[in-house]
């Protein structure tokens, strides 16, 4: 069974940075494209970025140039470095697969506010 545990969220000022982490348990990580998603209050969950098993990345237009997704296959972990954050990026952030979706974790709350 796959378990996803997100961490690293918190309160950050506009223009600030946060680094999110996702620990993945289960024998799927090495070959699975992983992604970060976010869900703001009252909105649908949206895809933020994804990274293939080989390290290829793709980003939503709204975060290009500011967010960086990475992974450490040895640690079964995926990360999201978020810079120059905006208030509208306040959301619960989740990691999961891309083409294959696993049971969702609890997510990590990110609040961008002064």
Q: What is the pLDDT along the chain (114 residues), one digit of tens a residue?
A: 889 999 999 999 999 999 999 999 987 767 789 999 999 999 999 999 999 989 999 999 999 999 999 999 889 999 999 999 999 999 999 999 999 899 999 999 999 999
Task: Identify the three-state secondary structure at position 12.
Answer: strand
Residue 90 · residue 40 · CB < 8 Å? yes
Q: How far apart are CA 33 and CA 68, in angstroms?
A: 15
Q: How far apart are CA 41 and CA 39, in angstroms?
A: 7
Whole-number CA gyration radius for the chain: 13
Q: Which residues pair with 19 in a beta bridge?
A: 81
């Amino acid at each position: 069974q796959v378990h996803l545990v997100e961490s690293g969220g918190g309160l950050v000022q506009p223009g600030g940075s946060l680094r999110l982490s996702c620990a993945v348990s289960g024998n799927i990580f090495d070959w699975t494209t992983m992604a970060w998603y976010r869900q703001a209050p009252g909105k649908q969950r949206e895809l933020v970025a994804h990274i293939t098993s080989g390290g290829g990345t793709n980003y939503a237009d709204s975060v290009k140039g500011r967010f960086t997704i990475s992974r450490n296959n040895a640690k079964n972990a995926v990360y999201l470095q978020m810079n120059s954050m905006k208030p509208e990026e306040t959301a619960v952030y989740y990691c999961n697969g891309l083409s294959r979706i696993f049971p969702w974790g609890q997510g990590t709350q990110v609040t961008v506010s002064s």
